[in-house]
Structure 1
Amino acid sequence: MNTNISNAITRAFASYTSMNIPNILTISRVIAIPFFIIALMYGYNGVALAIFVISGMTDAFDGFIARAYHQRTTIGAFLDPLADKLLLTSTVVSLSLVSVPNALPLWFAVTLISRDIIITVGIAALFMLGVKFPIAPSIIGKLTTFLQVALISIVLFYNYIGTPRPDLIRPFCWITFAVTVSSGLEYVYRGIRLFNSNSENIERREQ
């Protein structure tokens, strides 16, 4: 019993000591999400834009601090992409549901969510089968994130100034949609290759 308590205290202390400045900045992005959604729901488009911009700045700062001052942690490596994904997904969904001068199409939000679900389920399935899947994003994955952030920034900016711009936003949606689907297919392809390679290795060992 005492050993279990000691182990629990040790794990709690380790988690606490790993909460450095980069991790605190990462968590602040998660905390900002409900405030961002509320700002959009009540028409405070300037506040929503400010929260999104500040969240993007914290993303840049936490990465810089972690690299420059050697403060990379295991929990940070897990929380950082999770915080980014939660912010992007909640923003896209909110902008497709609330009444704003420039809304995102619902099909765009469904595409983004479906891609993330497929990737997550695929990685979980590979993990259960004992196949390690590298989480590091590919070039097209990074391009997808960049286009999504750029699209959201443009939509939030024109909502703030109250100017409808379907001529700009709709083509940007289709471009981002195409790259998002392509990145999802690339992850599926990588997962299938890893699974087939692992299966071949197992067959060789059994022979």
Structure 2
Amino acid sequence: MLMRSLYLQWLPNFITIGRLVLTPAAIDMIVGEHWRAAFAIFVLAGASDALDGWLAKTFDLRTDLGAVLDPIADKALIVSIYATLAIKGALPPWLALLVISRDVLIVGAVFVAWLLARPMDLRPLPVSKATTAAQLLLAAIVLAGEAFAFPLGEATSLVFAVVAALTVASASVYLWRWVKLMGPDDVGA
């Protein structure tokens, strides 16, 4: 009974680790231009993100490890997919650079805060959740367009703009929180 309980407690973490494992598989499929397989793997990875979060919240299976692994898995998937899609010409390089820069900024800020013994609150902000959802949706749209050979058209430019705006807004909020956290200890005293 205890062993089954431990497995259940760790189920969301196992799903998150699975998403980490799926990331290089999706990248390999994109590089090889196996677009349908890349799309299927990406959808599976996205579904796993929703599933692990739902399980953790619904059944109170949250763990400290999961709180760290989940954003790492999200960032690994998004950064890898955006970089590869830009290299393959399926996504504008400026957008990929913006998305990747935001994640590098966040990871760098968390690392510096940790080095200075001023750890940041790692709970995702609403703007961050919206940004991640929009970034994942755009990647799915681009992959589906490649997989099923349908033209993305002008509406895609609007989605690019929404993703860019959310990415800049999210980066700005994190940067503001980080600057506030790194300020003098006696500010506002």
User: Would you call these one fold, judging by a TM-score over 0.5?
Assistant: yes
Quick check: 1:78 aligned with 2:68?
A: yes
- Measured in 1, the distance between the counterparts of 2:7 and 2:15 equals 15
Alignment partner of 2:121: what SS? coil
Letter of the 1:51 counterpart: I
- Paired residues in the alignment total 184
- What is the CA distance between 1:73 and its match in structure 2? 1.7
Query: For the Cα contact (< 8 Å) 1:131–1:198, is it kept in 2?
Result: no
Corresponding residue of 2:38: 48
- What is the CA distance between 1:19 and its match in structure 2? 7.6
- Measured in 1, the distance between the counterparts of 2:32 and 2:7 equals 38
Percent identity between the two aligned chains: 32
Corresponding residue of 2:107: 120
Letter of the 1:194 counterpart: L
Query: For the Cα contact (< 8 Å) 1:29–1:55, is it kept in 2?
Result: yes
Corresponding residue of 1:196: 183
Query: For the Cα contact (< 8 Å) 1:25–1:58, is it kept in 2?
Result: yes
Corresponding residue of 1:6: none
- What is the CA distance between 1:184 and its match in structure 2? 0.5
- Measured in 2, the distance between the counterparts of 1:142 and 1:197 equals 29
- Measured in 2, the distance between the counterparts of 1:155 and 1:199 equals 48
Query: For the Cα contact (< 8 Å) 1:32–1:51, is it kept in 2?
Result: yes
2:82 to 77, 86, 92: 92
Quick check: 1:159 aligned with 2:146?
A: yes
Quick check: 1:106 aligned with 2:93?
A: yes
Corresponding residue of 2:14: 24
String of CA shifts for 1:163-201, please: whole Å, max 9, x gaps: 232412222112211210111011111111222252538
Corresponding residue of 1:133: 120
Corresponding residue of 1:7: none
Residues 107 and 199 of structure 1: CA distance in aligned 2, closer, same or farther (over 3 Å): farther
Range 178-187 or range 113-122, more displaced: 113-122
Residues 67 and 19 of structure 1: CA distance in aligned 2, closer, same or farther (over 3 Å): closer
Question: Gaps spanning 5+ residues in structure 2: where?
Answer: 1-5
Query: For the Cα contact (< 8 Å) 1:18–1:75, is it kept in 2?
Result: no
- What is the CA distance between 1:106 and its match in structure 2? 0.8
- Measured in 2, the distance between the counterparts of 1:64 and 1:86 equals 20
Letter of the 2:60 counterpart: H
Structure number with greater Rg is 1
Alignment partner of 2:113: what SS? helix
